Chain A
Amino acid sequence: MAELTAVREPSPFGVTSRKLGIWMFIVADAATFAALLFAYGYERVANPDWTRPFSFWPSITNGIVMTVVLLTSSLTIIAAVLAAQAGRKTSALRWLGATMLLGALFAALHLREWIVMIGDGWRPFRNPLGGTPLVGATFFSITGLHLLHVVTGVVVIGVIALGYRRGRFEPGHLETVGLYWHFVDLVWMFVFPLVYLMNMR
């Protein structure tokens, strides 16, 4: 590739195609989440009988723990990227493992929350408190899409870690998946206040 790259114009952003690609993906994905959050806000305003399902204990507390877990996982993946760029392979792999553990913990806490809510009678089409059924519909669709992103992220980080250990992937791949992971984290920083905190009793 070296002789090919020498004949190219410099990229206006000074980044590889792979990194540019993940940024474009993030732009598109942000539009997707924005559309869902817009739909949520629209339905919330349109329904005067909106009900607030969450109390401080246990739901919001659980959400705060989840937030801390996810934010910490953003720190650990930064550590992994820095270690990889400095050539410390074992350390990078350990940090990647920590990130995957934290991501899995987030998903487990989130699923526990879902199971409790389903046990209480919440469905995408039913509101056990008697208000509009859109509370469940918006909650499950928005957090469901985010959870899907988290689970996908954990799997992809695992694949990247395996390839990195075998020498098939370079630190650039870690950075790319890191960008995705930070984005998933950033989305949660919108989902948590809008879907949880605004719906606290």
Chain B
Amino acid sequence: MAQGKGGRAVTHGAATGHAPAQSFLRRHVFSVDHKVIGRQYLDLALVAVVTGMVLSWIMRFHLGWPETPVPGLGKLAPTGAAGGVITPEFYLALMTMHGTIMVFFVLTTAPFAGFGNFFLPIHVGAEDMAFPRINMTSFWVTLAAFLVLVSAFFVGDGPPLSGWTAYAPLSAVGKDAGPGQGVGQTLWAVSIAMFCVAQLLGSLNFIATTLDLRTRGMSLARLPFATWAWFITSVIGLVAFAVLMPACILLILDRVAGTSFFIPAGLVISDRLQPHAGGSPLLWQHLFWFFGHPEVYIAILPGFGIVSQILPVFARKPLLGPRVFIVCLIAIAFLSYTVWGHHMFLSGMNPVSATLFSVPTLVITIPATIICLLWIGTLYGARLRFTTAALFALGFVSVFVSGGISGFFLAQPSTDIYLHGTYFVVAHFHFVMGVAAMFGIFAGTYFWFPKMFGRMMNETLGKWHFWLTFIGVYCVFMPMHYLGLAGNVRRYSAFTDDYLQPLIPLHRFITIAALFTGAVQLIFLFNLIRSRLRGPVAPANPWEATTLEWSTSSPPPHDNFGGHPPVVTHGPNEFGGVGPQDYVMQAEPR
């Protein structure tokens, strides 16, 4: 028992132990069990990722064949795409919704909230989160935020046009700024403010659980790498979302209460002088990117953790430099708050500030590079077991490095000023945070599916899924670097009548590759559903891994360890021993 100040005994945990619920609703829908909530987050992310991907297909189709009607779209969106041909405004609406859904409701909810909720309490040896009811609230607020966002498709003039970054004053002045800038943009701001609240509650819960609910022997140094990553991600999220939320509230005030936080004087939009004065569009960019840059680490750090946990299992070697890995995570978390201005080199910001933001941006590549080297060092001399999970972890390293290298060019104002408005940036962030985080999600799914559902996934289908996806994403995003270098501007809906026309064949290639890569995901969906129903029953520890989730049954019982909290005697990284068993589990008696 821990001792508080003055020798008073300190009890941990406010009511974490709860009896299994009885009714169907309490058990499967309004459950406070972290495992159910984790699965709900992953289900939400699955719905969101399908929605976001379909939106990107429509955009890609239009970019390749701007004058060809998209089959069936004319009926779905009679105003935005009369006869199936997309208007420039509708293209921007699709882009906004694609970005918002993917960044917030897929890349944040799946690797962080989804897997984190399911496995963080098990990793630390707890029976649930520190605050189970707050945990449930946080999921339902996230779901409500998603519904509010998607409802923008069905009300007023449709979804907003100002991108997932909602740049002011376009996002702040209301319906004069175009279709969707009325009700749609307000719904966007409300949805994101709600999402912030949900993720703040989630982060708070993760931090309290990691620090206070660790089972006996689970010192901080023995925490599994994925849990370290979720913990550091929560620390980032706790401040980042707390800044985006008031920014969204100020945006809502500008839109509905007539204030002028982000709107300057003398702005004429749609031939109408806007009744605002004194505000600064740059202020929105500062507040947004103060959240926005940490957000990309919120999306990618869980992937770092998942890969660092998976690679040693299949390399049968300990992760190289486990403490270095954790120090690098902390360094990234700290530096992530100092670099937001590199998104604003083109904004008219003082060039001195641009230099000041450029330096930490280059410095933050150092811990990220060290982590990549640790992964490669772990693989050196290993006899890899090429399971699907291992393949996706290796794929993660590949796409993260591919996307990271273009970051060096974008970190410097001199090159960024040319590249920033082009497809070079689209390629960069899709590789480094989009595809890389997706590969982290896939790796986590193939790795943890047996534990979550008690059944194995089909490895043959998994390997097909990996290789086709791996080739597909390179075909989609690698050519975009060349488009960008050739000066192809982003956010434009078509390039039919200017100097960019010679690039249209390349756009068509990318479109075909994107449709192909999307279709390949049907293999994953099929595998997911079939394995859930018919997969072979999973043993407790199919991968011969060390962490606590593999010491309990598949799937784990209601309180995770069947009333016997484990006692931890080893670190998570003990692979490569000699003898019949080449690994030591964390809860193995000494």
Contacts and interface: CB of A to CB of B under 8 A. Distances in A.
Interface stretch (A15-23, A67-75, A95-103): A15-23
Interface in A19-52: 20-21, 24-25, 27-32, 34-36, 38-39, 42-43, 46-47, 49
A9 B218 contact: yes
B287 A35 contact: yes
A198 interface: no
Given A5-B1, A11-B211, A134-B261, A16 B12 contact: yes
A141 interface: yes
Interface residues of A, number: 46
A12 B217 CA distance: 13
B45 to A, nearest CB: 23
A9 B258 contact: no
A125 interface: yes
A156 B246 CA distance: 22
A32 B243 contact: yes
A35 B246 contact: yes
Q: Is the interface of A mostly helix, strand, loop or mixed?
A: helix
A132 B239 CA distance: 31
A15 B8 CA distance: 11
Interface string A121-157: 0011100000011100100010001000000000000
Interface stretch (B199-207, B321-329, B415-423): B199-207
B253 A137 contact: yes
A43 B279 contact: yes
A141 B213 CA distance: 38
Interface residues of B, number: 61
Given A2-B11, A10-B2, A17 B208 contact: yes
Interface in B124-154: 127, 130-131
Contacts of B253: 124, 137, 141
A39 B283 contact: yes
Contacts of B4: 14-15
Given A31-B239, A43-B283, A12 B211 contact: yes
Given A1-B17, A9-B219, A21 B130 contact: yes
Contacts of A47: 278
Contacts of A18: 14
Contacts of A32: 242-243, 245-246
Contacts of B131: 17, 21
Contacts of A34: 243
Nearest to B244: A35
B257 A17 contact: no
A137 B261 contact: yes
B12 A134 contact: no
B3 interface: yes
B260 interface: yes
Given A10-B2, A42-B283, A24 B261 contact: no
Contacts of B261: 39, 43, 134, 137
B239 A134 contact: no
Contacts of A42: 280, 283, 286
Interface string A72-88: 00000000000000000
B219 to A, nearest CB: 7
B66 to A, nearest CB: 41
Given A7-B565, A8-B216, A17-B130, A24 B258 contact: no
B5 interface: yes
A21 B239 CA distance: 14
A141 B200 contact: no
Contacts of B218: 9
Interface in B93-142: 127, 130-131
B280 A11 contact: no
B215 interface: yes
A24 B130 contact: no
A132 B215 contact: no
A38 B277 CA distance: 19
A57 interface: no
Contacts of B211: 11-13, 20
Interface of B: 1-5, 10-17, 127, 130-131, 200, 203-205, 207-209, 211-220, 238-239, 241-243, 245-247, 249-250, 253, 257-261, 275-280, 283, 286-287, 290, 565, 567
15 contacts: A5-B1, A8-B213, A9-B218, A13-B211, A14-B2, A15-B4, A24-B203, A24-B238, A27-B238, A27-B242, A28-B204, A46-B278, A46-B283, A132-B277, A137-B253
